[in-house]
């Protein structure tokens, strides 16, 4: 009886050549050209045994998405050895840039296994790639208002990975009014009970910082000013003032 052909696993989660991430991801594969590790760095009893045995057989560019997602199910000691994390990192960034989930638990833990946002951990070339990826990912999420990921989830993902939260907030405030208003409205106001969304993955300290940013007078006054401007399109004016109302509810000092 002929043996049944075993098909190789699908390789999805690849960024397209017309994506704004394409150049960044290509640079990631080039710069993070780490030697193939000998171990997975996670508890093997948590992984599918077949995937665990085959994990390092594919080329890093061809590492299947389901292999990565299964690897994320494994328990590990923080921080992950840099030799393992650095090897897998370009594939992880590739998957995220393609809009896929590296972890089936939550977006927020996607980069949590190593202090990736600590500039001192990387060479100049490595940090250039990581910094560009972070900025592009955040900007893309705000400009593409149809994305299912909440802005707060994305900020939390990078903050957990040790990017300074204050710098992330500064980047948010640099976004044009039109796109920022639409993203905040999409995240906070299109539901039955409008409210500020805060992910449960924040710890108490960073959760307080996140809420302080969202309820800051600077953001509130910017929303009201944009909503009241004569040249603001009516639909955006309504959204800006609705988001401002949400802030008034969370921060009575504005009333």
Is 55 within 8 Å of 64 (Cβ atoms)? no
Confidence of residue 10 (pLDDT cuts 50, 70, 90): low
- Provide the pLDDT confidence category of residue 144 given band limits of 50, 70 and 90: confident
Q: How far apart are CA 114 and CA 154, in angstroms?
A: 17
Token pair for residue 38?
Answer: 């000998």
Overall domain count for the chain: 2
Q: Are residues 29 and 123 in the same domain?
A: yes
Structure tokens at 195: 């409210």
Task: Report the pLDDT value the prediction gives residue 3, as an integer from 0 to 100.
Answer: 34
pLDDT of the residue at 6: 39
CA–CA distance from 29 to each of 37, 47, 54, 89, 93 (Å)? Answer: 16, 25, 21, 9, 10
Are 143 and 83 contained in the same domain? yes
Counting Cβ atoms within 10 Å, is residue 22 exposed (0-12), middle (13-18) or buried (19+)?
Answer: middle
Asked whether residue 105 falls in the same domain as residue 14, the answer is yes
Q: Are residues 20 and 125 in the same domain?
A: yes
Q: What gap in Å lies between CA 15 and CA 62, rounded to an integer?
A: 12
Split at pLDDT 50, 70, 90, the class of 250 is confident
Q: What is the mean pLDDT of residues 226-255?
A: 91
Instruction: Indicate if 144 and 182 belong to the same structural domain.
Output: no
Size of the chain, expressed as the number of residues it contains:
255
Q: Is the pLDDT of residue 108 over 80?
A: yes
pLDDT at site 84 = 97
Please write the tens of the pLDDT for every residue from 154-198: 999 999 999 999 999 999 999 999 999 999 999 999 888 999 999
Tens-place pLDDT, residues 113-128: 999 999 999 999 999 9
Residue 120 and residue 44 share a domain: yes
Query: Do 109 and 206 sit in the same domain of this protein?
Result: no
- Of the three residues 148, 167, 196, the one that is the final residue of a domain is 148
Assess whether pLDDT exceeds 70 at residue 9.
no
Q: Are 112 and 236 part of one and the same domain?
A: no
Q: 115 and 23: one domain?
A: yes
Residue 108 falls inside a structural domain: yes
**pTM for the predicted model, two decimal places:** 0.92
Residue 235 has pLDDT above 90, yes or no: yes
Judged against a pLDDT cut of 80, whether residue 36 lies above it is answered with yes
Contact yes or no for 66/112 (Cβ under 8 A): no
pLDDT tens track for 47-104: 999 999 999 999 999 999 999 999 999 999 999 999 999 999 999 999 999 999 999 9
Spell out the alpha helix ranges (H) of the chain: 22-31, 49-54, 65-71, 82-97, 124-143, 151-160, 165-173, 177-188, 204-214, 217-228, 234-250
Contacts of 13 (CB under 8 A, 6+ apart): 65, 68, 94, 95, 98, 100, 102
Render pLDDT for 194-221 as a digit per residue (tens, 0 to 9): 999 999 999 999 999 999 999 999 999 9
Q: Is residue 203 part of a domain?
A: yes
Question: pLDDT tier at 8 (50, 70, 90 boundaries)?
Answer: very low
Average pLDDT, the chain: 92
Whether 146 has a pLDDT exceeding 90, the answer reads no
Banded model confidence at residue 11, pLDDT cuts 50, 70, 90: low
Give residue 192's domain range. Answer: 176-255
CA 127 to CA 81: how far, in whole Å? 18
Those residues with Cβ within 8 angstroms of residue 82's Cβ, 6 or more apart along the chain or in another chain: 114, 121
Whether residue 195 sits in one domain with residue 94: no
């Amino acid at each position: 009886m002929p043996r049944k052909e075993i098909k190789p696993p699908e390789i999805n989660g690849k960024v397209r050549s017309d994506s704004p991430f394409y150049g960044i991801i290509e640079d990631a594969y080039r710069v993070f050209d780490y030697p193939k590790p000998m171990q997975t760095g996670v508890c093997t009893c948590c992984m599918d045994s077949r995937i665990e045995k085959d994990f390092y057989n594919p080329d890093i560019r061809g590492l299947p998405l389901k292999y990565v997602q299964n690897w994320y199910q494994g328990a590990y000691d923080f921080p992950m050895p840099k030799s393992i994390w650095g090897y897998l990192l370009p594939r992880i960034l590739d998957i995220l840039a393609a809009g896929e989930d590296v972890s089936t638990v939550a977006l927020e833990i996607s980069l949590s296994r190593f202090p990736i946002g600590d500039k001192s951990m990387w060479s100049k070339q490595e940090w250039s790639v990581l910094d560009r990826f972070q900025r592009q990912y955040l900007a893309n999420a705000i400009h593409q208002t149809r994305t299912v990921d909440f802005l707060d989830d994305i900020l939390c993902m990078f903050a957990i990975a040790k990017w300074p939260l204050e710098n992330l907030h500064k980047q948010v405030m640099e976004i044009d009014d039109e796109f920022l208003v639409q993203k905040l409205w999409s995240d906070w106001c299109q539901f039955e009970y409008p409210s500020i969304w805060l992910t449960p993955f924040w710890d108490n300290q960073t959760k307080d910082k996140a809420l302080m940013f969202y309820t800051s007078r600077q953001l509130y006054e910017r929303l009201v000013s944009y909503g009241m401007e004569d040249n603001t399109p009516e639909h955006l004016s309504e959204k800006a003032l609705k988001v401002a109302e949400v802030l008034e509810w969370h921060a009575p000092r504005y009333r």
